[in-house]
Amino acid sequence: MASPPFESWLRPGPAGLYCAPGDFHIDPAGPVPRAIITHGHSDHARPGHAAVLATADTLAIMRLRLGELGQTQALAYGEPLTVKDVTVTLVPAGHILGSAQVVIDYQGQRAVISGDYKRHADPTCDPFELVPCDLFVTEATFGLPVYRHEPDMAEVQKLLASLRDFPERTHQVGVYGLGKCQRLIKLIRQAGYDRPIWLHGALRSMTDYYVARGLDLGAVPNAMDATDKLAGEIVLSPPSALGDRWSRRFADPLAGFASGWMRIRGRVRQRGVELPLIISDHCDWPELIRTVTETGAREVWVTHGREEALVHELSKRQITARALRLVGREDDSE
Ligand SMILES: [Zn+2]
Ligand SMILES: [Zn+2]
C-alpha cells in the first residue's frame, strides 16, 4: 500500500508547519497552544506559546531573550518522546548552542525538520547529525551557487593580519549576538590570540550564558569599561553599531563584519565594511546539496531563503522538491 502523502500529517499553514497527529507547530510565526522550537534565534523562537518543547539550552536562551515562557518541557538530544500519535526526537543541528533538528516518526514514515543548520565544525555547539528520512525540510538561506563559505580559520587570520597592519586602529567587528559572537571569539582564541576581546553591552548576556555552559572564551570585558580608545584591539558589536555613534569612542575604527552575506560585494559596500569575514552559521550551497542528498529523502521542502534555486537544482536530481514560503523567516541572524 502506498504511504499517505506527507501533507496529510505535516501541513504548512499560516502559523508555520503543523503536525496534526502530534497536535503541535514547529517554530510557529505566532502564538500557538503547543510549539516545538528548533533554536533560539528570533525568527524561530517567538513569544506567547502556551507550551514549548525544546532542548534545555534553547529554553534557557528563550528565557534570556523573552522572559517567562509558560509551560515548558526540555528534551535532550537523541531521547525519543511520544507526543500523541507521533514520536519526536531532537538531534543536533550544528547551528548554535542548543539548536536541534526535529525528527518526527509517524506510521513508518520519518520527517526531519532541520531548522537552521550547518556542516562546518563549530567549537561552540554539538555537530550536525545526519538522520536518514523520507521527508527533509531544509532552509535555503544561502541557496544559490554563489554562496560558498571560506574555511573559518582563513577568515580569522585575515582579522589578525589586519591588526598587525593597522595597530593604530580599533578593529570593530559586527556579529550577531547569539551564536556568531561566541563562535568568532572561540575561533580567535584557537588562532592563538590571547588579548582581551572587548564587547558591546548587547552581546553580554548571551556570551555569559555560553561561558556558564562551559565554553572558555578568555577575557571578554565590556568596551564601555575601557580606559583608552582601544587602538589595535578587537571590539565586537552588533552589526547595527558599525559606523554608529557608539563607535566614535574608538581609535579610527576599522569596520569588520562576520557573516555569510559578506560573500556579496554589494552587501559589503552597503554596510561600509572594510574587513569582510565570510563566517556563517548556515550551510553554503554545496553543503545544502550534499546534506539533502545524504538524507536519502524522496521529498524535500524548502523554507526561508532562495527557495526556487534549490528546488530547481533538486528537481534536476530527481528529488521531489517544493518551496514552502513560510512567513516571517528572514535569516538576518546569520
Ligand atoms: Zn538561526
Ligand atoms: Zn532561521
**Three-class secondary structure of residue 273 per DSSP:** coil
* 270 confidence band (pLDDT: 50, 70, 90): confident
Residue 333 has pLDDT above 90, yes or no: no
Domain extents in the chain: 6-146+282-323, 152-277
Q: Give me ligand 2 centre to Cα 329, in Å.
A: 6
Q: Give me ligand 1 centre to Cα 227, in Å.
A: 35
Q: Which fold does the domain 6-146+282-323 belong to in CATH?
A: Metallo-beta-lactamase; Chain A (3.60.15)
Q: What is the 3-state secondary structure (H, E, C) of 2-18?
A: CCCCHHHCEEEECCEEE
Q: Among residues of the chain, what percentage have pLDDT more than 70?
A: 97
Mean pLDDT over each residue of the chain, to the nearest integer: 94
CATH number, domain 152-277 = 3.40.50
* 14 confidence band (pLDDT: 50, 70, 90): confident
The three three-digit cell numbers of residue 103, written as one number: 525528527
Q: Give me ligand 1 centre to Cα 331, in Å.
A: 7
Looking at the CA of 117, name the nearest ligand: 1
Q: Among residues of the chain, what percentage have pLDDT more than 90?
A: 90
Residue 327 has pLDDT above 60, yes or no: no
Higher-confidence position of 305 and 222: 222
Per-residue pLDDT, 330? 58
Q: Give me ligand 2 centre to Cα 161, in Å.
A: 32
CA distance 264 to 278: 10
Q: Give me ligand 1 centre to Cα 318, in Å.
A: 29
Looking at the CA of 99, name the nearest ligand: 1
Q: Give me ligand 1 centre to Cα 260, in Å.
A: 13
What amino acid occupies position 72?
T
Per-residue pLDDT, 67? 95
CA distance 7 to 16: 13
Residue 225 has pLDDT above 60, yes or no: yes
Q: Give me ligand 2 centre to Cα 43, in Å.
A: 6
Q: Give me ligand 1 centre to Cα 182, in Å.
A: 14
**Three-class secondary structure of residue 245 per DSSP:** helix
Give me the half-sphere count of Cα atoms (radius 13 Å) on the Cβ side of residue 329: 24
Per-residue pLDDT, 40? 98
Looking at the CA of 328, name the nearest ligand: 2
Q: Give me ligand 2 centre to Cα 328, in Å.
A: 9
Per-residue pLDDT, 326? 67
Burial label, 233 (beta-carbon count in 10 A; 0-12, 13-18, 19+): buried
CA distance 218 to 199: 12
Q: Give me ligand 2 centre to Cα 116, in Å.
A: 5
The three three-digit cell numbers of residue 327, written as one number: 512567513
